[in-house]
């Protein structure tokens, strides 16, 4: 009388297999008993799945290192990195990093190069990605089954169309399509801050926190949001641009057409101004200055006072709007001297009404440092292929 | 071999029944064929469900009004309002409105009263709600099966604890618990802007738009967000406070501890200042002034120039952060003169980078006007009880 869809046994098996692989990929080596408990499957089902995966070389079972427990140790199930490899690409304004990442999240090999005005065109970047990937894959003897790309701009998730990546001076680049054609694989393109947030949530500082904002400073400032455990996106999959929140209406003109955007007040150029470095100084020079300031808290506070104030104000706004439990700061922000970071975190907790209601939002440095976006790119690629491993 | 959960027939039936009722409640009268198509159920299943619901008086079937189509008309299935009634309460700073709302969303009866400093305590408000509900329910001969309450403040969704409703001067009020005890029914308490957004999405201007921001001005300014068709909440269910985004760092002090919050620049007090009315003028006086200005666009533009600029700046920020397809303006904002509203909408589209990427965000007036929050409160109550009708 009813027409409820009832899953066929092979569908159920495929679904359970993918769940198991996802769990091993993100959670690491586990015993069969742990897997059975966490996935809510009985032990005979787990045994059949693990045996099948071991038979096709996707996992191995191994005796754990001694000292783990008394008695006869349970075998650990380990994902085999080479069983599924994805290409992760992190396109930044002055730099491209790429890596081949294996099942389980291990970086098997990597390469990177700098971008200059001349080499920053989509065609140049695509050519170099293709060449570099071919070399790396041949070196490692693997073939990527999917690809994830991080881009600092407004990206349509559906097809990887880059609408506008202003700091790269790209607009309307069908990056997903073009890359899929040359690599002959499935390509997912995401906004860099969204992918950074995803990586922090899955593998970094934000593990176990369902409501997180990730804000990072490079040339530009970007932010990604995890809400109730999922990436927050706007309509048609566009991710917001936290860096273009106006924090200082009397501030500097921004290329976006506004003025006093968060990016103009706390991005790399603002760091250079605060540190008395010529604008356009190398990232390395900025980092060296910041690290030196760590030893002289009072000097750090006075030099970075204005930048810290705009960072605080923007964070208060973000926390008041989104109510996260944790804010993770990435890239250049991770090099802020401890004294300044502690002041900012304290001021956000004091001035944000929503933080007070939540009992105090945490503000922490990214633990993935410069790899956050690269690892996020790997994860969106894995999401696409894990069902087919 | 597998342990997939297979739904039992009575569970499936209950699930289908609730889906059908939810569809009739939100979508209105429909033919059996329409229901079968939209719910993906076969016609015999729909027949059995409709017959069951008609037997217990929850729906009726009727011949549609003539002129709808040629040939023998299909019967329409209509929800019976009295079959499930909820109490909706909209607590505002100077005003409480309540209504008994029937299945299908019809307001069966309503009452409201003004709040003054003396009558604004939680106990006074609770007492009055209880008395007023009893009278209204007796009048209509119905008994509410659930209750939804809208509060202008920071609310913990889980148990309806009002952490802070600053304009009411309430803090740490266990409103959900207290109201549930006196009304002897399930109570859901929500932030007013969240409920306004929900109502616009389900029954108002935003129907059919999955990514929406609702911003409304009363004494305070609040905003609710629908992202991919669901209410966006922060950690532990707290909804953000868009009104406490700082738009003007050199602006007036806000009671929240910040200065230049959106609320201080575009809330009711800012309207009074712009219109040359004494602060604390009645809502009616503000509306009258605004409506008069509608006839003189240039005067309207000059009087409201500063307010419009802060409204624009805040909206640019909201659009850049969240990337909605539609912004719905509620309460006092709906009385903005057309010329000013058009200017604001145009400026947001021009100045927001994300709006440009999206091909232009729409900025529109609420069609539910002052009932948005009340209807949103009804909907969260219906969500809780529709499975049990």
Q: How far apart are CA A330 and CA B20, in angstroms?
A: 47
Residues 292-331 of A with CB under 8 A from B: 313, 316-318, 320-325
- Put simply, the answer to whether B246 touches A48 (Cβ < 8 Å) is no
Tell me the average pLDDT of chain B.
91
Q: How far apart are CA A389 and CA B256, in angstroms?
A: 53
Residue-level pLDDT at A7: 62
| A contact test, residue of B2, B156, B162, B227 with most A CBs within 10 A | B2
Same domain, A143 and A252: no
Residues from chain B that touch A316, judged by Cβ atoms under 8 A, are 246, 258
Same domain, B110 and B185: yes
Q: Vertex B157, ends B156 and B158: CA angle to 5°? A: 95
Cα–chain center distance at A54? 30
Q: How far apart are CA A386 and CA A21, in angstroms?
A: 7
Element (H, E) at B188: strand B187-191
Residues from chain A that touch B316, judged by Cβ atoms under 8 A, are 246, 258
Same domain, B163 and B238: no
Same domain, A231 and A358: yes
SS3 per residue for chain A: CCCCCCCCHHHHHHHHHHHHHHHHHHHCCEEHHHHHHHHCCCHHHHHHHHHHHHHCCCEEEECCCCCCCCCCCCCEEEECHHHCEEEEEEECCCEEEEEEEECCCCEEEEEEEECCCHHHCHHHHHHHHHHHHHHHHHHHCCCCCEEEEEECCEEECCCCEEEEEHHHCEEEECHHHHHHHHHCCCEEEEEHHHHHHHHHHHHCCCCCCCCEEEEEECCCEEEEEEECCEECCCHHHCCCCHHHCECCCCCCECCCCCECEHHHHHCHHHHHHHHCCCCCCCHHHHHHHHHHHCCCHHHHHHHCHHHHHHHHHHHHHHHHHHCCCEEEEEEHHHHCCHHHHHHHHHHHHHHCHHHHHHCCCEEEECCCHHHHHHHHHHHHHHHHHHHHC
Same domain, B221 and B357: yes
Same domain, B149 and B240: no
SS3 B13: helix
Gyration radius of chain A over CA positions: 23
Residue-level pLDDT at B1: 37
- B118 token code pair: 């003396």
- B267 token code pair: 């809330």
Residues from chain B that touch A210, judged by Cβ atoms under 8 A, are 235
Same domain, A126 and A270: no
Residue-level pLDDT at B369: 78
Nearest CA in chain A to B361: A235
Q: Each residue of B53-96: pLDDT tens digit?
A: 999 999 999 988 766 556 667 889 999 999 999 999 999 998 99
A2 within domain boundaries: no
Residues from chain B that touch A223, judged by Cβ atoms under 8 A, are 321
B200 within domain boundaries: no
User: Strand B187-191 relative to strand B146-151: parallel, antiparallel, unpaired?
Assistant: parallel
Question: Contact B304/B336 with Cβ under 8 angstroms?
Answer: yes
A162 beta partners: A155, A173
B377 within domain boundaries: yes
Residue-level pLDDT at B5: 52
Phi–psi pair at A225, nearest 5 degrees: -125, 130
Of B52, B79, B106, at which residue does a domain stop?
A: B79
- Put simply, the answer to whether B322 touches A1 (Cβ < 8 Å) is no
> What distance in Å separates residue A368's CA from the closest CA in chain B?
23
C-alpha neighbours within 13 Å on the C-beta side of residue B62: 9
Nearest CA in chain B to A12: B4
Question: Contact B193/B224 with Cβ under 8 angstroms?
Answer: yes
A39 within domain boundaries: yes
Nearest CA in chain B to A319: B240
User: Which of A2, A313, A354 is the closest to B240 by Cβ?
Assistant: A354
Same domain, B282 and B352: yes
Residue-level pLDDT at B241: 85
| A contact test, residue of B165, B206, B357 with most A CBs within 10 A | B357
* pLDDT confidence tier of residue B162, bands split at 50, 70 and 90: very high
Cβ neighbourhood burial of B69 (10 Å; 0-12, 13-18, 19+): exposed
pLDDT of B208 over the 80 cut: yes
Question: Contact B165/B218 with Cβ under 8 angstroms?
Answer: no
Task: Specify the number of domains making up chain A.
Answer: 3
Same domain, B151 and B104: yes
Of A369, A119, A324, the C-alpha closest to A228 is: A324
- Put simply, the answer to whether A235 touches B320 (Cβ < 8 Å) is no
A and B: number of Cβ contacts within 8 A: 180
Residue-level pLDDT at A229: 81
B328 beta partners: B214, B364
User: Which of B48, B227, B258 is the closest to A1 by Cβ?
Assistant: B48
Residue-level pLDDT at B203: 94
Q: Is A2 on the interface with B (CB under 8 A)?
A: yes
Quick one: angle between helices B338-351 and B305-322, nearest 10?
Answer: 40
Residues 219-278 of A with CB under 8 A from B: 223, 227-228, 232-236, 238-242, 244-250, 256-258
Residue-level pLDDT at B4: 47
Residues of chain A with pLDDT under 70: 1-7, 66-72, 235-239
Average pLDDT over residues B240-265: 92
pLDDT of B3 over the 50 cut: no
Residue-level pLDDT at A57: 94
Residues B204-216 as b/e (b if ≥16 CB within 10 A, e otherwise) read: bbbeebbbbbbbb
Lowest mean pLDDT among B15-24, B154-163, B305-314: B154-163
Cα–chain center distance at B230? 13
Nearest CA in chain B to A309: B249
Residue B134: domain span: 83-195+373-388
Torsion, CA A16, CA B229, CA A376, CA A284, rounded to 10: -170
A322 within domain boundaries: yes
> What distance in Å separates residue B133's CA from the closest CA in chain A?
31
CATH number for position A152: 3.30.420.40
- A350 token code pair: 């004091």
- B63 token code pair: 């011949």
CATH number for position B18: 1.10.10.10
A167 within domain boundaries: yes
Residues 325-364 of A with CB under 8 A from B: 325, 350-354, 356-358
Question: Contact A223/A239 with Cβ under 8 angstroms?
Answer: no
pLDDT of B357 over the 60 cut: yes
A366 beta partners: none
Contacts of B333 (CB under 8 A, 6+ apart): B215, B216, B217, B311, B341, B365
Same domain, A234 and A342: yes
Of B199, B227, B195, B192, the C-alpha closest to B213 is: B227
Residues from chain A that touch B13, judged by Cβ atoms under 8 A, are 2
Quick one: angle between helices A9-27 and A43-55, nearest 10?
Answer: 80
Same domain, B130 and B17: no
Of B79, B112, B139, at which residue does a domain stop?
A: B79
Q: How far apart are CA B266 and CA B246, in angstroms?
A: 12
Residue-level pLDDT at B67: 61
User: Which of B9, B154, B350 is the closest to A357 by Cβ?
Assistant: B154
> What distance in Å separates residue A288's CA from the closest CA in chain B?
31
Taken in order B317, B321, B324, B330, the sign of the CA dihedral is: negative
- Put simply, the answer to whether B320 touches A354 (Cβ < 8 Å) is no
Nearest CA in chain B to A359: B163
> What distance in Å separates residue B277's CA from the closest CA in chain A?
27
- Put simply, the answer to whether A323 touches B45 (Cβ < 8 Å) is no
Q: Report DSSP letters for B36-89, one per residue.
A: HHHHT--HHHHHHHHHHHHHTTSEEEEPPPTTS-SSSPPPEEEE-GGGSEEEEE
Of B49, B79, B109, at which residue does a domain stop?
A: B79
- Put simply, the answer to whether B321 touches A321 (Cβ < 8 Å) is yes
Q: Is B161 on the interface with A (CB under 8 A)?
A: no
Residue-level pLDDT at A24: 95
Q: Please name the residue that has the structure tokens 């970007």.
A: A222
| B contact test, residue of A50, A246, A348 with most B CBs within 10 A | A246
- Put simply, the answer to whether B246 touches A316 (Cβ < 8 Å) is yes
End-to-end CA gap in chain B? 38
B239 within domain boundaries: yes
Same domain, B15 and B94: no
B348 within domain boundaries: yes
């Amino acid at each position: 009388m009813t027409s409820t869809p009832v899953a066929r046994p092979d569908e159920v098996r495929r679904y359970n297999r993918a769940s198991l692989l996802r769990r091993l990929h993100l959670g690491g080596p586990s015993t069969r008993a742990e897997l059975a408990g966490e996935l809510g499957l009985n032990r005979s089902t787990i045994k059949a799945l693990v045996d099948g995966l071991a038979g096709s070389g996707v996992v191995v079972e191994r005796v754990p290192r001694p000292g783990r427990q008394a008695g006869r140790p349970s075998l650990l199930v380990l994902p085999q990195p080479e069983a599924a490899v994805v290409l992760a690409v992190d396109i930044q304004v002055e730099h491209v990093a790429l890596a081949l990442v294996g099942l389980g999240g291990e970086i098997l090999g990597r390469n990177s190069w700098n971008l200059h005005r001349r080499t920053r065109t989509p065609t140049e970047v695509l050519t170099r990605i293709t060449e570099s990937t071919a070399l790396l894959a041949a070196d490692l003897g693997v073939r990527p089954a999917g690809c994830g790309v991080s881009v600092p701009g407004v990206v349509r998730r559906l097809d990887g169309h880059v609408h506008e990546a202003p700091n790269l001076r790209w607009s309307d680049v069908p990056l997903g399509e073009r890359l899929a054609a040359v690599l002959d694989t499935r390509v997912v393109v995401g906004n860099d801050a969204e992918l950074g947030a995803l990586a922090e949530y899955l593998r970094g500082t934000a593990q176990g926190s369902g409501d997180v904002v990730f804000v990072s400073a490079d040339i530009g400032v970007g932010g990604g949001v995890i809400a109730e455990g999922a990436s927050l996106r706007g309509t048609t999959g566009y991710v917001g641009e936290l860096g273009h929140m106006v924090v200082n209406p009397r501030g500097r003109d921004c290329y976006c057409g506004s003025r006093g955007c968060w990016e103009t007040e706390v991005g790399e150029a603002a760091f250079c101004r605060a540190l008395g470095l010529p604008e356009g100084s190398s990232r390395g020079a900025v980092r060296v200055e910041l690290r030196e300031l760590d030893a002289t808290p009072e000097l750090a506070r006075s030099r970075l006072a204005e930048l810290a104030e705009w960072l605080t104000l923007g964070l208060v706004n973000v926390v008041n709007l989104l109510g996260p439990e944790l804010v993770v700061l990435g890239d250049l922000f991770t090099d802020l001297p401890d004294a300044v970071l502690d002041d900012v975190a304290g001021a956000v907790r004091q001035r944000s009404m929503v933080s007070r209601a939540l009992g105090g939002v945490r503000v922490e440095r990214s633990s993935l440092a410069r790899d956050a976006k690269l690892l996020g790119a790997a994860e969106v690629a894995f999401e696409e292929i894990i069902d087919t491993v």
